[in-house]
Structure 1
Amino acid sequence: MEQILRLRPYKREDGTYLLKWLTDRRMLGMWCREHFLFPLSDGQLDRYYKELENDPYAFGFTALNERGVPVGSFRMSRVDYENKSVHLGFIVIDQSLRGQGLGERMVSMAVRYGKEFLGMERITLNVFDCNPGARRCYEKAGFKEEQYKKEDFAFEDEQWGNYLMVYGK
């Protein structure tokens, strides 16, 4: 039986889950590039929450399971009402629940929200080439590669390429 998945606005207390999910330096880099420093801390998440509150073109979301427990998170940013576009980012699913289709469902729900409630026609996201599982998840949700930047981000002794993926126009 498929798990129930709900979306609600991100709340500051959801950060306790992010702290549990993003405990690895590499995973944190894939999640946010250099937006946060490892190890992730309450102070960094407080700043992130304040950024979301103060940015009229960005919204944070939390995905909840059937019991109302957070299982994933993402944000919509760069909302452009005139050009009808929005960017998804900071997408993460609880590590212990990966591989069950929750990421695809959460991203599909984000697309639906963007299209139906915000009136967006173009929805974008980025994914590093070293994260093929996430890329497959986004493809299953209907995203297609639009652009690839080789060696876009330096992580330790690696160079990560970055795909810009798009849903819609």
Structure 2
Amino acid sequence: MITLQPFTKEDYTQLIEWVNSPALLLQWGGPRFTFPLDERQLDDYLSWHSPGRQVWKAVETASGRTVGHIELGNIDSKNRIGTITRVMISPDVRGRGWGERIMREAVRYGFETLQLHRIELRVFDFNHAAIRCYEKVGFQKEGLLRQCRRFGDEYWSLWIMSLLRPEWLKQKQEGGECKTTVDR
């Protein structure tokens, strides 16, 4: 079981350790951050104001160990849309299902607490493990933003993926949820 808790200054060091290369920083944070990630950038990150925006660390309930980071933001309350961004799983637990658990909880929060109709995300087309994780949660690919991010001499493409509330409700009725909680 996991708990999503507010990401605070006390969590900076761990996230900085996880984001240990320029390529990983672009994958996690997009073009707003520069390598190396540092406390000043994370202070700025936490100061961004947006209604309903949630920045969490994901904590394994039994051990109290932080296993990930996730943000739900860009909340458009009129159209009831939100965006999952900045997903990072601790390197020592990758491939063990934690990403799926974290995603399911962020999605549950978006649909139940924020009453969203649509949750979307963007993921680089070469990040096959993340794409599989998002598809397990119910996200569908909608379109490819071709060569929209530059890294050195390369251009990277991003998939836009989304999950709609009726799809999530159907999955929930079929038992596709895992037990997690959010600390407020």
Normalising by structure 2, we get a TM-score of 0.85
Deviates more, 1:107-116 or 1:77-86: 77-86
| Matched residues, number | 164
Query: Which one of 14, 17, 21 corresponds to residue 18 of structure 2?
Result: 21
Q: Which string of whole-angstrom CA distances, capped at 9 and with x for unpartnered residues, describes residues 67-96 of structure 1?
A: 222211111111112211100000101011
Q: CA–CA distance in 1 between the matches of 2:73 and 2:152?
A: 27
Q: Which string of whole-angstrom CA distances, capped at 9 and with x for unpartnered residues, describes residues 130-153 of structure 1?
A: 211111111111100011111111
| 2:50/2:75 contact within 8 Å kept | no
SS at match of 1:6: strand
Query: Which one of 65, 85, 88 corresponds to residue 89 of structure 1?
Result: 85
Q: CA–CA distance in 2 between the matches of 1:92 and 1:35?
A: 16
Mapping 1:86-125, distance limit 5 Å:
86-125=82-121
2:44 counterpart of 1:47: yes
| Structure 1, unaligned runs of 5 or more | none
Cross-structure match for 1:129: 125
SS at match of 2:105: helix
| Structure 2, unaligned runs of 5 or more | 166-184
**Cα RMSD between the aligned structures?**
1.2
2:134 counterpart of 1:138: yes
Cross-structure match for 1:56: 51
Q: Which string of whole-angstrom CA distances, capped at 9 and with x for unpartnered residues, describes residues 104-124 of structure 1?
A: 110011110100111011000
Query: Which one of 73, 77, 82 corresponds to residue 77 of structure 1?
Result: 73
Cross-structure match for 2:177: none
SS at match of 2:31: coil
Cross-structure match for 2:171: none
**Structure 1 residue 22 displacement after superposition:** 0.5
